[in-house]
Amino acid sequence: MVIWKHIEKSAIEGVERNYTQLVLKNNAVENHTLSEITGADKGKLIPTDIGMIVNDFLVANFSNILDFGFTAKVEADFDAIAEGNKEWISMIKEFYKEFHLTVEDVKENAERESGERILGIDPKSGKQILVRLGRFGAMAQIGDRDDEEKIFASLNPNQNLSTITLEEALDLFLLPKNLGDYESKEVIVANGRFGPYVKFDDKYISIPKGEDPLSVTLDMAIELIEAKRKADAPIAEYEGLPVQKGVGRFGPFIKWNNTFINVNKKYDYDNLTQANIEELIETKKQKDIDKIIHSWEDATIRLEKARWGRFNIIHGKNKKIELPKTTKVEKMTLEQVKDIIAKNTKKKPAKKKTVKKKVVKKK
C-alpha cells in the first residue's frame, strides 16, 4: 500500500540574492553590494507534490466548496441548527444534492491530474524528458506516454516536480550506479520507491535522509553496510533461534522467529537482558494464542480477535477478511468461514479460448 503525504514538516533553504546598499556619508554616496538569503524558513508545513496537485485539482473542480463564502455559510447554518431555527437533515440534503451532481460530473469529465511538466530533450536519445506523479510518487520519464521504450527514475526526497531542472532530472538516470566491489561482491547505489539505497549481497540499505545518492562513494557505502550488519546482529538467542532488535515505524522492537515484538517503555531498550527478551517473547506467544477463536490448520484458515472488538478471518499467509464486532464467531463453522472467503475473493476473468481454424487445401 502506498501512503501519500500531502504536507510535511520541513525547512525551506531559500535562495541567495544580491542587493545594492546606498550610504550617504560625508556628503558622498557610497555604493555597496550585499547579499542575503530570501525565502528561508524552518519547521514549516510544506505541501508535497501530491498535496499541490490535489489542491489544484480541488480548486479547479470544487471551487464553490473551497470558497471562503461556503465555509461562512456552513458555519451560519450550524449556528441556526444549534439555535433550533433549522433542521440539520434539510441542511445536509441541500448541500449534498448539489455536491453529488458535482462529484458525478467530475468523475465523468475531469482529466486525471499528474502534475506533468516537460523539462526538455534528453541529449542521448533525443527523446522528451518530463516529470510527473506516478503510482509510487514523483518521477522523471524519458519518452512520451505512448513510447513503449520509455524509462523512469524516482525523484530524490529533496526534489519536487515544480522546481527540478533538466540537468537534475538527467542525473537521476545515472542510477543505478556500480560503486565497485566489497568482499568480492558488487556494491550498487540506486533510487527506489522508498528513497535512495545501497544494494549489497541481496540486502537493501537505506541512505540517510538528505544524502545525495550520486555523491555516495564506495567508502561511504561500506560504512553503511557495516552499520547495518551491526544493527542486524543477534543480541541474544531463545529456543535455538536468534533475536535481533531494531527501531521501526511503530517504535523499538525485537525480532524472533520472523515475529516482530514491540518493546514498550517498561523495558530499557538499549540494555535488554535475557530475562527481558524471554518475557517479551513468551508474552507475545501467549497473546497470539489467546486471540485465536478457531483454527482449521488443514485448511490454513483461522478466526482471530482483532482490534476494537472486531474479528479477522486469516486465510493462508496474506489473506485477511475483517468481520464486524456483532458477528457471532464462537459458533461459526469452517463451511461458513469458507463461504465468506469465497464471497470476498475476486474471480479472475476467464481467458477467451482461441479456436484455430483448419485450413483445407484444395486439390
**Domain range holding 88?**
7-109
Assess whether 249 and 295 both reside in one domain.
no
Assess whether 33 and 79 both reside in one domain.
yes
Question: Which residues, including other chains, have CB under 8 Å from residue 90's CB and lie 6 or more apart?
Answer: none
Q: Identify the domain boundary among 193, 212, 231.
A: 231
- 48: in domain: yes
What is the structure's pLDDT at 131? 94
What is the structure's pLDDT at 350? 58
Give percent above pLDDT 90 in the chain.
Answer: 57
Number of domains in the chain: 5
Cα–Cα distance between 243 and 268 in angstroms, integer?
16
Q: Taking the C-alpha atoms of 312, 317, 319 and 321 in order, what is their torsion angle to the nearest 10 degrees?
A: 0
Q: How confident is the model over 255-276, as a mean pLDDT?
A: 94
pLDDT band at 363 (very low <50, low <70, confident <90, very high): very low
What is the structure's pLDDT at 113? 83
- 259: in domain: yes
Q: What is the mean pLDDT of the chain?
A: 88
Q: What is the pLDDT of residues 346-355, one digit of tens each?
A: 766 555 555 4
Assess whether 303 and 277 both reside in one domain.
no
Contact between residue 138 and residue 161 where contact means Cβ atoms under 8 Å apart = yes
Residue 123: pLDDT over 90: yes
Count CA atoms within 13 Å of residue 35 on its CB side.
5
